[in-house]
Amino acid sequence: MSATSPVRPVLPPDIKARKGGQPLVVLTAYTTPMARLVDPHCDVALVGDSLGMVLHGMPSTVGVTMEMMILHGRAVVRGLSRAMAVIDMPFGSYEESPQQAYRNAARLMAETGAPSVKLEGGQHMAETIAFLTARGVPVMAHIGLTPQAVNTLGGYKVVGRDAEADKVMADARACEAAGAFAIVLEKVPQGLTGRITAALSIPTIGIGAGVDCDGQVLVIDDMLGLFTDFRPKFVKRYAELGKLADAAIAEYAAEVRARSFPGPEHAFADVLPAKAKS
């Protein structure tokens, strides 16, 4: 692409077409500055409802609202020029009926400018996924560990071991048949991940699901070391920005207390310097 040709944004059919190709790179983003950092390197910027825990200090994603997703979704879309935004549908915004899901998905897309949404659930959400995709809402499905169901699952456990494997495979097939353009597999054992990836014609995107997916996603604050309340086994720390920030804030505090900040170079003179002679 030349320096002057416009950047074409990635769209759901582009993601679907990457099945079996170069792995898809996905990170969460919740703000414009993070979206700008993610955009040149990633195919998808996921405005995950993890923002409730990561940015807002909530104990789970259950309390995240449509308003929060719209606010952060808009901020992320503003920061993207190439990568595709996917907005999570928050708990309670889609489970009641396909009609409720359509109303809220359409609102998320119209009010943020994102071209797609993600929702949690397999076979029991297939009718809703089909309803949405038939009406112009591209859906990324999310199965395995579905964090919005933490209260029924009883914790953030691996999903799909032993007898559960057939159900997770059936969930994946149901999402594909319903028209999902891609599917997130969270905390699924890696052998099962490989079998699901081989069985589906749509890309699988793993988080804690091993290497045999068509792509990977991580929560950006986890991989940058900015969110340190807990650290799932599947998170690799690519940077320790939290520690850097702590050191910088400590240095600032010490300098303010010692009156060594601000220095003369950060202050404004009372008298303007004389104009240079021409």
Backbone CA torsion sign across 179, 105, 29, 12:
positive
Q: Does the protein bind ligand KIV through residue 88 (CB under 6 A)?
A: yes
> Which sequence positions are flagged as catalytic?
186
Contact 122, 141 (CB under 8 A): yes
Nearest to 185 by CA among 153, 146, 157, 156: 146
Residues 39 and 112: their CA atoms lie apart, in Å, by 17
Residues 189-208 that bind ligand KIV (CB under 6 A): 207
* Least Å from the CB of residue 3 to ligand KIV: 34
Give the number of residues in contact with ligand KIV, rule: CB under 6 A.
11
In the chain the beta strands, taken as DSSP E runs, fall at 24-28, 44-47, 84-88, 117-120, 139-144, 182-186, 204-207, 215-218
Residues 137-176 that bind ligand KIV (CB under 6 A): 142
Chosen residue from 50, 104, 112, 197 binding ligand KIV by CB under 6 A: 50
Structure tokens at 261: 């900040």
* Least Å from the CB of residue 74 to ligand KIV: 17
Q: Which stretch binds ligand KIV (CB under 6 A): 46-54, 67-75, 79-87, 149-157?
A: 46-54
For ligand KIV, which is the closer residue by CB, 88 or 176?
Answer: 88
Which position has the token pair 């240079």? 276
Q: Does the protein bind ligand KIV through residue 28 (CB under 6 A)?
A: yes
For ligand KIV, which is the closer residue by CB, 42 or 219?
Answer: 219
